[in-house]
Amino acid sequence: MNEFTIEALLGLYSVPSIGPTRMRKLISVFKTPQAVLDADIRRIMNVEGIDRKTAEKIKNGPDENFIQNQLTMMKEHGVEILTYWDEKYPKQLKKIYDPPAFLFFKGDLECFQKPAVAIVGTRVPSSYGKMITEQFSRELVQHDFVIISGFARGVDTHAHKAALKNGGKTIAVLGNGLDRVYPPENKSMLPAIYENGAVISEYPMGTKPEAGNFPKRNRIISGLSEGVLLTEAGAKSGALITAFYGLDQNREIFSVPGAITSGKSAGTNRLIKEGAKLVQSTMDILEELNGKLALNLGKEKAVKKIPHLDEPAKTIYELLGNEPLHIDQLAIQADLSTSETLSVLLTLELMDLIRQLAGKMFIKY
């Protein structure tokens, strides 16, 4: 029996019209990619969905240049391949209608063995969208969930960063080859993700981040998860595609409501109207997933330790909450000058107790 090799797998992939479905069918019959390449036309045509034209393409042989280029780039970038037939291939992903036959990955495969929630949304979130994305990501990793997202600008970026900042694990699913970084401003996150999660793609090395790649990759984001959370998304947001894939895959769909006057929440509000679970807290998600995962909901989440604060820092901190307050409001309520208030706010921000939003607005972190 021929061994199952990455070279033969890439060779079969390089044959025109051989996608994930045909590859899985062929290998389920012949057991290894090399056995498929070595089989005669008649036997290949006996496989469901394989006609003579496709069988002849297989017999014409693989693209050797493609194989060598992939192997060279994989070695250069420290990338490996995880196949559908490997024991560590994510079990959740195997259950979807069209799972990838293999994934290019870099990182820690153990993160695929833990329950995960996908967090997705708009590429241009409001202050509200950023805040709640970070809140849900932070609290979910405190309950041992892996955070999955698409490494895009906006909600994806904030979800990944909050997971890492709070000691959690995160998986980034790309719509391009792992040798390319898109968007480029997220490059600084990659070392931390490699160490505390994984970066994956079904697209071969060298693939550009073309628009048509992203809707297809969204099925992987939802497929890896127990549920999909949309924190903020407009009426035409690509994140809605992830939610629809999740519905098809029998995943739980969670949506955070927003103001009816906000176009950035039109998509999330519509999902709720159409049956997605309205969530106002992480506990809403945990309770919904509890039946399937048998979560220990009695476990207290980590409580942020507040250091001793002298006046007026204590006063300013106690005035702040989840609703943003402008510096002028804080100054008036604390009976301080604007410059004194700004100095205190800077100190609290450096202590990681509060965060500044656009327009000199502040909230507790």
| Confidence at residue 238, expressed as pLDDT on a 0 to 100 scale | 93
To which residue do tokens 């045909």 refer? 22
pLDDT tens for each residue of the chain, 365 residues long: 578 999 999 999 999 989 889 999 999 999 999 999 999 999 999 998 899 999 999 999 999 999 999 999 999 999 999 999 999 999 999 999 999 999 999 999 999 999 999 999 999 999 999 999 999 999 999 999 999 999 999 999 999 999 999 999 999 999 999 999 999 999 999 999 999 999 999 999 999 999 999 999 999 999 999 999 999 999 999 999 999 999 999 999 999 999 999 999 999 999 999 999 999 999 999 999 987 787 766 544 444 567 778 888 888 888 887 777 888 888 888 888 888 888 888 888 888 788 787 778 888 77
Domains plus CATH for the chain? 1-68 (1.10.150.20), 106-293 (3.40.50.450), 313-364 (1.10.10.10)
CA distance 63 to 111: 33
Cα 280 to Cα 21, 180, 230, 270: the distances in Å are 39, 36, 12, 16
Enter the tokens of residue 86: 């490997």
pLDDT for 296 equals: 63
Which H or E element spans position 170?
Answer: strand 170-173
Q: Are strands 252-255 and 227-230 parallel, antiparallel or unpaired?
A: parallel
Report the sign of the C-alpha dihedral through residues 21, 74, 209, 62, in that order: negative
Angle (CA) 316 320 324, round 5°: 130
| pLDDT for position 299 | 47
Q: What is the H or E stretch that residue 258 is in?
A: none
The model's pTM is: 0.84
Q: How far apart are CA 31 and CA 19, in angstroms?
A: 17
Containing 361, the helix (H) or strand (E) segment is: strand 361-364
H or E segment and range at residue 25: helix 20-30
